[in-house]
Amino acid sequence: MTEMFDMVVVGGGPSGATAANDLALAGFKVMLLDRMGRIKPCGGAVPPRLLKDFDVPLDLLCTTANSARMISPTDNKVDMPVGEGGWVGMVDRDVFDEWLRVRAAKNGADRRDGTFEALERDADGTAVVAYRPKGAERGSDLIKVRTKMLIGCDGCNSSVARAALPEETLPFVAAYHEVVESPPEGFGDFAGNRCDVFYQGKHSPDFYAWVFPHGDKTSIGTGSAVQGFELRKAVTALRAELNMGEDTCKTVRVEGAPIPLRPRKKWDNGKDVVVAGDAAGTVAPASGEGIFYAMTAGREAAAAAAEAVKSGDPSKLGLARKRFLKAHGTVFRVLGIMQWWWYRSDTMREKFVKLCMDKDIQQLTWEAYMNKELARKKPMAHVRIFLKDSVELVTGILSGGGAREGKNAGKRAQN
């Protein structure tokens, strides 16, 4: 008899591990299937709210940062202190993701190492998940389990989404980073308590590059949607600029993966499959922030799947996307517009970094990041920011700044 589960979660990153943990705690029989050894390239920044919302211990942070530095194409630097004793938590995904998986298993999830291969159906229509266990040779028999609900948290190129959802091509940024050994206090011009973001075409023609502290390590990476842009060479060049090359800062590991730039239009099949995390496209545009949103989407997918099973109403699966976008859709739309407008050329990115000097913008940016919603405390600050942005927009249009890429950027925004 094929083993039966209430829920099978594919993918053990922050989204999948959170979904499995929530469902196990709720008393469901859950299997968590994860392809071990895969770590997504990630700067590792998390807001304090994440630790509170998902009961993550403070000691899981490898360090904290209390400011960010924005570097323009002409090498102008703008420091943005968090202020008032605030901080941004930094995690190493190698350690963080494993802790989440272990927690889910301790709370009752049946953790298995393997690769999702296919979604099949029994004679009665019940979902059957076929997977290849870790270490099994190609051509060997697959292991199959039956499930009431399948939750796909298996990344931007989700196999679960391809197997069960309408075909949809998400715009994405290809990301790559190198984790290197470095002194906790920093190295050269890089401070161990600051996140540096490079808005320079030489390091990324349409996104940004980063240098983020990880305690005794540093994540140095970049991303781009431009085909042919050589990410590895860009990171090598950035490390050389910072005097953090292999001769001074030993490389610990390297990772690359696509990062989606907008949520999928459909997260579920209306029957027994729902996706979350990168598989659902829940990475914030412009910032590329994904951990908090992945865990939030995983929680919403788990809650929707639980409601669908308990009520016998599969339409409940649609609540996952609906609830997520109700809470975060406005932020995603605003950040999408920002990326479309300000990242299109070095001319516009120079203006963007200049805007970041504004104290109102800095304060509202950090409030929005910490609280995961658009700040509403100071309406006049929003008015001032709107007027400043309007001047920059009009100036950019009149001067032709970024217009060379305007047509293509507009198409990307529509996609």
pLDDT of residue 405: 42
Q: How confident is the model at residue 374 (pLDDT cuts 50, 70, 90)?
A: low
> Quick one: three-class SS letters along the chain?
CCCEEEEEEECCCHHHHHHHHHHHHCCCCEEEEECCCCCCCCCCEECHHHHHHCCCCHHHCCEEECEEEEECCCCCEEEEECCCCCCEEECCHHHHHHHHHHHHHHCCCEEEEEEEEEEEECCCCCEEEEEEECCCCCCCCCEEEEEEEEEECCCCCCHHHHHHCCCCCCCEEEEEEEEEECCCCEECCEECCEEEEECCCCCCCCCCEEEEECCCEEEEEEEECCCCCCHHHHHHHHHHHCCCCCCCCCEEEEEEEEEECCCCCCCECCCCEEECHHHHCCCCCCCCCCHHHHHHHHHHHHHHHHHHHHHCCHHHHHHHHHHHHHHHHHHHHHHHHHHHHHCCCHHHHHHHHHHCCCHHHHHHHHHHHHHCCCCCCCHHHHHHHHHHHHHHHHHHHHHCCCHHHHHHHHHHHHC
**How does pLDDT run across 208-260, given as a tens digit for each residue?**
999 999 999 999 999 999 999 999 999 999 999 999 999 999 999 999 999 99
pLDDT at position 83 over 90: no
Check whether 398 has a pLDDT greater than 90.
Answer: no
Confidence (pLDDT) at 393: 44
Can you tell me the distance from the alpha carbon of 10 to that of 35, in angstroms, rounded to the nearest whole number? 9
- Residue 409's alpha-carbon distances to 42, 239, 361, 414, in angstroms, are 25, 29, 24, 9
Segment 141-167, tens digit of pLDDT: 899 999 999 999 999 999 999 999 999
CB of 392 within 8 A of CB of 399? no
Q: State the angle between helix axes of 93-106 and 14-25 in degrees (0 to 180), rounded to the nearest 10.
A: 20
Q: Which of 262 and 366 is assigned the larger pLDDT?
A: 262
Q: Between 150 and 342, whose confidence is greater?
A: 150
Residue 402 pLDDT: 41
Q: Which residues contact 203 (CB under 8 A, 6 or more apart)?
A: 209, 222, 234, 237, 238
Q: What does the pLDDT average to over 383-395?
A: 46
- Sequence-distant (≥ 6) Cβ neighbours of residue 329 within 8 angstroms: none
pLDDT at position 327, please?
Answer: 93
Under a CB-based contact definition with an 8 Å cutoff, are residues 263 and 285 in contact? no
pLDDT for 188:
83
Reported as a single tens digit per residue, the pLDDT across 274-315 is: 999 999 999 999 988 899 999 999 999 999 999 999 999 999
pLDDT at 380 over 50: no
Residue 52's contacts (CB-CB under 8 Å, 6 or more residues apart) are none
Contact 277, 296 (CB under 8 A): no
What integer is the mean pLDDT of 307-324?
98
Q: How far apart are CA 292 and CA 15, in angstroms?
A: 9
**Per-residue pLDDT for 408 more than 70?**
no
- pLDDT class of 45 with cuts at 50, 70, 90: very high
Q: Tell me the pTM.
A: 0.90
> Is the model's pLDDT at 21 over the cut of 70?
yes
Which two tokens mark 303?
Answer: 């809650």
β-bridge mates for residue 121, sequence order: 127
Question: pLDDT (tens digit, 9 = 90+) per residue, 256-273?
Answer: 999 998 999 999 999 999
Q: What is the crossing angle of helices 319-342 and 346-355, to 10°?
A: 110
pLDDT score at 404: 40
Could you tell me how far CA 125 lies from the centroid of its own chain?
A: 34
Confidence category of residue 350, pLDDT binned at 50, 70, 90: very high
Q: How far apart are CA 30 and CA 109, in angstroms?
A: 5
Report the mean per-residue pLDDT for the chain: 89
Number of other CB atoms surrounding residue 174 within 10 Å: 19
Least confident of 74-83, 137-146, 177-186: 137-146
What the block records as the tokens of 216 is: 């005794």
